[in-house]
Amino acid sequence: MATYTDINGVKLITTGDEAGTWGSSTNTNLEIIERAANGFAQIALTGTSYTLTLSNQPSAAENGHYKAIEFTGTPGGTCTVTLAQNDHARMYMFLNSTNQTVSVTQGSGSNVTIAASEGAVVLADGAGSGAAVKDLVVKAGSYVAGSIVNADINASAAIADTKLDTISTSSKVSNSATTATNANTASAIVSRDGSGNFSAGTITATLSGNATSATSATSATTLSGLNASVGELNIMDGDTSATSTTVAAADRVVFNDNGTMKQVAMSDIATYTSAQVTAPNNATITISAGDAMTGGGDFTTNQSGNETITVNHEDTSSQASVDNSGSTYIQDITLDTYGHVTGITSTDASSTVSPVFASNSVHQAATSITVAAGMYMISCFSTATSNSGQLNLPTTNITFGMINLIKTSTNTQNALATAYLYDGSNWRSGSNTSSTATGVPITNSTSGTQNVSFAWGFMSFSGASTLDTNNANTRITAVRVG
């Protein structure tokens, strides 16, 4: 029976196996060996993960057999390339020609990250679930001292300053290789000219002796010809610390008198200021009351005393207060141009609720009764004994309807009630839940019994509607309530 090698899965044919078919297996083995020895392939990455196939018993050469692989494509993010078998030790050469980072992994151990446009020679240790991938490129610090010469460094390497050691040997750096100058140049190294001099702006230093050409001094002990302390000079320069002082006529302030600094008495300043102030004109200012206002007055600009001017709101309304009660309410409020209340009209609410009957009378015939739009309280009952009729319920122009049928049992005071409700298109009751209730039965038994029924409730109409019965002895009453 044939076996397979541990690393690349090369098929080992035993003596006498695969008679007549060993050529196919041998060709596959040769292809695997060729790829592992010096094979190269380009693999396009289209997503953020890719498995490099390497089977234990391959039936054909696979991508994982190549020694050198160039990754191409646009994976859209960092792509993790997983080596399929974590127990196969392999060495690969990878070139990342994508526009994203490629991370090569084999197990839970370390991975190798290859940036875009860079390459790596890696070793997959095949250690099983904890397998690691290691970068075999020589790292910094592994070079033999003195092995790097000037020709090994690219002219555009741009080595950062932080990678350079401190130069401490004398004469290793000449002035011409620096920014050193004897001129007053910002952020430049100072060098002296042939006479040992250099130019500078402000120099902070602890000095001793005499400065023959100094133009300013800080914290000097004495200055020739100056009779002032440092504190006094600071005040003249604008000291921010204020002191409460009562100014007197003899006090002095420093003035620039046509180029000469002098102390000037406050009395001189007062004399000058008074001469420059012009007395105000004696004008009269008048405040007049406008529309719907009363009062007003005037005052002069140079008067010595205070003046009080009052402007009042004019009372233009003679309307008295209104205190309604009961069903009386305010119907109208009249305002003038300025928003004053000039009139209030009250109305008794009870006068707006009146019964609506045919020809202003109680309807007692079998003819119909017509009502206008509005809310009505409806009642219907029989006026004759042994009478049986019904209240016909309208189905047009009605927006709300509720009718209760009350029927008393014979010779008892027990009452049975049935409710009829309008659902927007049909009248319905408890005993008629699936079809239109066309009428409410109204009955009255023979004399001497108490078997009677009557209906009452509310209906709201959006337009003129008709109520009728089918019996001349059945009475309808409609009272408008809204």
- The more confident residue out of 347 and 237 is 347
pLDDT higher than 60, residue 54: yes
pLDDT band, residue 339 (cuts 50/70/90): confident
Specify the CATH number of the domain 3-135: 2.60.120
SS3 347: strand
Residue spans of the domains in the chain: they are 3-135, 313-351, 355-480
SS3 content of the chain, % helix, strand, coil (to 5): 10, 35, 55
pLDDT at position 297: 84
**If you average pLDDT over residues 121-137, what whole number do you get?**
93
pLDDT digit string (tens) for 290-306?
A: 777 787 788 887 777 88
Give the Cα separation of 80 and 45 in Å (integer).
10
Task: Please determine, for residue 447, whether its predicted confidence score (pLDDT) is greater than 60.
Answer: no
Report pTM: 0.34
Say which residue, 175 or 414, is predicted with more confidence: 175
Span of 8-12, 116-120, 129-133 with lowest mean pLDDT? 8-12
| Predicted local distance difference test score (pLDDT) of residue 356 | 45
The conformation of residue 150, written as its DSSP 8-state character, comes to G
CB burial of residue 436 (10 Å; 0-12, 13-18, 19+): middle
Residue-wise pLDDT for 365-380, tens only, equals: 445 678 888 888 888 8
Q: According to the model, what pLDDT value does residue 94 have? A: 96
Q: With 60 as the cut, is the pLDDT of residue 42 above it?
A: yes
